[in-house]
Structure 1
């Protein structure tokens, strides 16, 4: 699945994490995850009021406007033009709206906790595979007993929340 051009792009795009930086980023990532739960709570009712696709478009419209404003403030950007990037790197532009539409559809029916733990189980499951095989140019991290146990515990949490 990997090619030499894939590897060379990933080598440039994958920085080595410094221990101090990892400690600073972890709380930030946890807060971002909390933001996703808030987003799910907002999107469900918005989707019911205006329609699921309109709700998704409004969320991405506001986000795009904020990003555009931040880009204007940040000055010239370094790096290749979008046309020079491998097309597979732009798949996230498709996956983001799919994720938000699913949040908008699912949350009113199964609740925020169930939606988030289901998303988490999918994210962790796929992340373990991506790490294990080194897909997308990531550093390979073999699946070991601890990673299998972590995935199993997340699935157990999904089952317990579904039953509760």
Structure 2
């Protein structure tokens, strides 16, 4: 088994709870947070988690960076069709005022005791790049993103001293 294969095996078996960032560093708002607060966070983040309140941290939804278009556009620019009627009301001009009005309720989640391999598999299956990490009560515990997984893999290779040279390439991978 090569160094890279060993590194990957270690990487795949890592628990998400061991590599997720501290919850204090995550973009989180409550259901009643004004849309302006959400937009301020989305200037520098790709998503914002929506929880019922800061005490329980029960996960209710997510607002993604691309959702800002629906928030800012007038409602008449959104075609109301079956399954998409709620997008009309996600506009500020359509009456949206709080995070609860614009959040996506269908959230991809994963258990905090899951492994990196579990997360990668779920991300690929559902074509998402970020998962909310929750416990059995749907309490937000953290997040795991493809970017965090890439960083962790690169850290693991560096710490393990693994040199990975891509086949067919004249330069080493760094």
Common topology (TM > 0.5): no
- Taking CA–CA contacts closer than 8 Å with sequence separation of 6 or more, which of the two structures ends up with the larger relative contact order? 1
- TM-score for the superposition, normalised by structure 2: 0.26
- TM-score for the superposition, normalised by structure 1: 0.27
Quick check: which has more Rg, 1 or 2? Answer: 2
Which has a greater percent of helix? 1
Which has a greater percent of strand? 2
